[in-house]
Amino acid sequence: MIKRFATAVCVIVAVSGSAQMRTSISAMRWGADYKLHVRMANDSAYVLDVKGLYHSGGDLFADTNSRSTTYYPVTLDPDFVAHIKRTNLAVPDTAPQAATSDKTLWSAIHARIGGGYVHFVNCLVYTIEAHPALLSAPIFVRPATKWKPKPMTQSYKRTRGWQYYFPSTQKQAKREYKCRLKENDLADLHGVPQRFIDLFMSTSQRAYDLMRQQGRANQVAQIDLVRLLLGAKYLGEPQIRSISNGVAEAVMRYSSSTMPSIIIFDDYHAAVAMSLGRDGYQIDRIVYADAEQASHHELESRTEMIEQLIRTINQANEQVFQKRLRQYYQHRD
């Protein structure tokens, strides 16, 4: 990102509610050569290549079904971060409810951050990306043992070669995924964005190692999330508590001055600054590439459609959370 800003008239469409008050963006405009110019409230400025931003095109609801979550890689809303900080300060890790929640990875993290499954996914990906050494900590290493179950179980046969409590290599993880798929036992992945799973399945160990070397932390974190959830049912309370504490620590250190996330909605010729709040995705600002050519009525109509789209996505994500996750994890608790 190049820190420069060309002075120009910014054509911005205001969004409803208090969104304009929440955003740390003071100005945003489309420029020449497919660039997006952004000025922050603290006067820092960025020129972003639109091609390098996340694009949401005609398949907006490709992930919105009974199993998956519509996922946008967005930053956390400052109010949401403040809420988590207040909650974590008010409820110490040693509280009885904290110990009770450590029975599953979902319940442990949900007790810390609240929200639905999209909050769980976003905060876990953010934590793994920000702290790549988290999952290689000694607490996740399986102790050496000569014990064998009698009779021999399928889960033992599948996991006996694992160094960690989750499949830590692509070969191990893909084998576990295929076995679980055959057994119709992929409940731990219900709600994970399908593109995470597609990336995981299409990436070899060599390609994964190259991603790490090249610093492609977000893609690595998405693959690691799938690996971790494939091993979720094998985690004990110490491992679950370690991850939960890692998420809480990462979010507590989250900087509200982080560059806002901008999603390109190609079908609407729009750049949308978005964040994740307590109730789901929220729009902070919208700017249109063709704002000078389109009529005011056309821009208002597009804004209403984008706002309705985000409301629908939040509702659909909540339904996924309710139908596929809450019941599953509650019955496991």
| Domain limits, the chain | 19-66+260-320, 77-255
Per mean pLDDT, which range of 2-16, 198-212, 245-259 is the poorest? 2-16
**pLDDT of the residue at 327:** 52
> Using CA atoms, how far apart are residues 266 and 120, in angstroms rounded to an integer?
27
Asked if pLDDT for residue 7 goes beyond 80, the answer is no
* CA dist 280 → 44, 117, 228, 332 (Å): 27, 10, 24, 25
Structure tokens at 205: 């160990």
Q: How confident is the model at residue 192 (pLDDT cuts 50, 70, 90)?
A: confident
| 91-126 per-position pLDDT tens digit | 555 544 455 567 789 888 988 888 888 898 899 999
> Using CA atoms, how far apart are residues 315 and 228, in angstroms rounded to an integer?
27
**43: DSSP letter:** S
Q: How confident is the model at residue 62 (pLDDT cuts 50, 70, 90)?
A: very low
Q: How confident is the model at residue 24 (pLDDT cuts 50, 70, 90)?
A: low
Asked if pLDDT for residue 1 goes beyond 80, the answer is no
* CA dist 161 → 28, 30, 155, 164, 248 (Å): 52, 53, 11, 9, 31
**Phi, psi angle pair for 32, to nearest 5°:** -75, 165
Task: Look up the pTM and report it.
Answer: 0.80
